[in-house]
Amino acid sequence: MKTTVFKNARVFDGTNPDCPEGMEVLIEGGVIRDISDKSLEANGARIIDIAGRTLMPGLIDAHVHACTPSFSLFDLDHMPQSLLANHAGSILTGMLRRGFTTVRDAGGADRGLWLAIENGVIEGPRLFYSGRAISQTGGHGDMRALDQVEPCNCGAYSGAISMVADGVDGVRRAVREELRQGAHQIKIFASGGVVSPSDPIWMSQFTDGEIAAAVYEASNRRTYVMAHCHTDEAARRCIDLGVRSIEHGSDIQPDTARLIAEKGAFVVPTLTVTDVLRRHGAELNLPPMSLEKVSSLYERILRAIETCTRAGVKIGLGADLLGSKYHHLQGMELTLRGEVSSPLEVLRSATSINAELLQRSGQLGCIQPGALADLIVLDFDPFKSLSPFQRAEQNVVLVMKSGEIIRDNVTG
């Protein structure tokens, strides 16, 4: 593996607001070995002078769906697995080239996709996968049409990104099965959602016992549960029951935000997908019920982010995009978050906070000795404007993963 020295770098380390200039960073064996304001020498090293540009940790997206080339869950459920896997590979490669060196998949990705990246078959980011997300019958992850009747009445739906499990024993079995297949974390649905056909968004889902069973089984494997929660009630129930990561968190109120902060849990807002749905819902052929669900959701998420910030909640970052036509908007999540958060808060969310959420503090989302060499070089000052992240192929001029350069527009 090549040794690389970045010279003349302005370094954002993932946490500190001070970004020292004129720094040098030594990469060896896929790991950051040294950071100094003095010259670093290494025999045979590749020297990259980035001419005062910002060097920062690779971005982390904590809510992606790699196996979603379409917004139509029906189409996904009926797509040949080999075709879906090829779409997923293309989507993940795009994420890495945009500077997202790590992603957490919130339903659909599996061990095979992870192995394809690990073995170099796919050029993709580090992948933390949940396997299939778990839903109750008639919940947000139950994507059967309303007129679809199962002859056995056994709730046996299992689709491209989610599956149904009911009762404490059923949920326990489903969680154990996903963990058996190597899932890095477990995803459940605890409230209604936008694109599902049968549940109002305000609907609470799963019983306390079912959620507690999922949390127990995950913690028994030293991992955690992430929960789709649009309502304040769903978020509060999940936090009381030990869920670590609240996804969306659209209506979180001050008391719940304070509880989340006290428990040391996380909230991962998802503005980009909400923006896409409210702007393009009609052309995506969303049913009237879904269009109604999403009409005021974006503004509610912004208010929830402000509420969580005031309470000191650890806020991650996730774009939650579906559809090959829209995955390229991934970097917009940083820009939209900038509507209610400072650039420093947004950059921390996309690096060190998401790394802590993934239980990889000190390895990912930081620039420090011993950390993995997942790095990007920016051709702009992110503390002045986050909007260039929307055009990452142009403005993120170098991407490195594990010390290997994926894309380099600095040296040509």
pTM of the model: 0.95
Q: How far apart are CA 96 and CA 93, in angstroms?
A: 5
Mean pLDDT value across residues 194-220 = 91
What strand order describes the sheet that includes 133-135?
162-164, 133-135, 186-189, 225-229, 245-248, 266-268, 314-315
How would residue 300 be classed by pLDDT, with cut points 50, 70 and 90?
Answer: very high
Residue, of 15 and 2, whose pLDDT is higher: 15
Q: Which phi and psi (to 5°) does residue 48 adopt?
A: -125, 110
Closest-CA residue to 333 (of 14, 63, 19): 63
Do 70 and 324 contact (CB within 8 A), yes or no? yes
Q: How far apart are CA 36 and CA 83, in angstroms?
A: 47
Residue, of 317 and 196, whose pLDDT is higher: 317
Domain residue limits, the chain: 4-57+365-408, 59-357
How would residue 125 be classed by pLDDT, with cut points 50, 70 and 90?
Answer: very high
Percent of the chain's residues with pLDDT above 90: 83
* 36: enclosing H helix or E strand: strand 31-36
List all residues 6 or more positions away from 296 whose beta carbon is below 8 Å from its beta carbon.
Answer: none
Q: How far apart are CA 366 and CA 58, in angstroms?
A: 8
Residue, of 78 and 225, whose pLDDT is higher: 225
Percent of the chain's residues with pLDDT above 70: 97
Q: How far apart are CA 169 and CA 180, in angstroms?
A: 16
Mean pLDDT value across residues 36-44 = 90
Nearest 5°: the CA angle 276, 281, 282 is 145
Written as one letter, the residue type at 230 is: H
How would residue 288 be classed by pLDDT, with cut points 50, 70 and 90?
Answer: confident
Name the range with the highest mean pLDDT among 39-48, 196-205, 302-311: 302-311
Mean pLDDT value across residues 196-209 = 87
Instruction: Give the single-character DSSP code of 410.
Output: S
pLDDT tens per residue, range 55-88: 999 999 999 999 999 888 888 999 999 999 999 9
Q: How far apart are CA 6 and CA 398, in angstroms?
A: 11
Structure tokens at 207: 């019983």
Q: How far apart are CA 297 and CA 301, in angstroms?
A: 6
For 291, the 3-state DSSP assignment is: helix
Residue 195 scores a pLDDT above 90: no
- Average pLDDT of the chain to the nearest whole number: 94
Residue 152 scores a pLDDT above 90: no
Q: How far apart are CA 369 and CA 227, in angstroms?
A: 34
Do 231 and 204 contact (CB within 8 A), yes or no? yes
Residue 347 scores a pLDDT above 60: yes
Residue 151 scores a pLDDT above 90: no
User: 242 burial class (0-12, 13-18, 19+ CB within 10 angstroms)?
Assistant: middle
Do 340 and 304 contact (CB within 8 A), yes or no? no
List all residues 6 or more positions away from 150 whose beta carbon is below 8 Å from its beta carbon.
Answer: 144, 156, 157
pLDDT tens per residue, range 140-149: 888 787 666 6
Residue 197 scores a pLDDT above 70: no
Closest-CA residue to 228 (of 172, 268, 188): 188
Looking at residue 25, its pLDDT comes to 98
- Burial code (b: 16+ CB inside 10 Å, e: under 16) for 188-207 equals bbbbbbbbbbbbebebebbe
Measure the N-to-C terminal CA separation of the chain; round to a whole number of Å: 20
Looking at residue 41, its pLDDT comes to 81
Structure tokens at 161: 């990104």
Q: Where are the alpha helices (DSSP H) in 39-187?
A: 73-77, 81-97, 111-118, 167-180
Q: How far apart are CA 274 and CA 190, in angstroms?
A: 18
Q: Which phi and psi (to 5°) does residue 320 adopt?
A: 60, 35
Looking at residue 155, its pLDDT comes to 54
Do 336 and 271 contact (CB within 8 A), yes or no? yes
Pick 59-357's CATH classification: 3.40.50.10800, 1.10.1380.10, 3.20.20.70, 3.20.20.140.
3.20.20.140
How would residue 26 be classed by pLDDT, with cut points 50, 70 and 90?
Answer: very high
How would residue 157 be classed by pLDDT, with cut points 50, 70 and 90?
Answer: confident
Domain 4-57+365-408, CATH: 2.30.40.10
Looking at residue 253, its pLDDT comes to 98
* 347: enclosing H helix or E strand: helix 343-348
Structure tokens at 41: 């020498």
Least confidently predicted of 205-214, 277-286, 289-298, 315-324: 289-298
Structure tokens at 169: 């024993």
How would residue 2 be classed by pLDDT, with cut points 50, 70 and 90?
Answer: confident
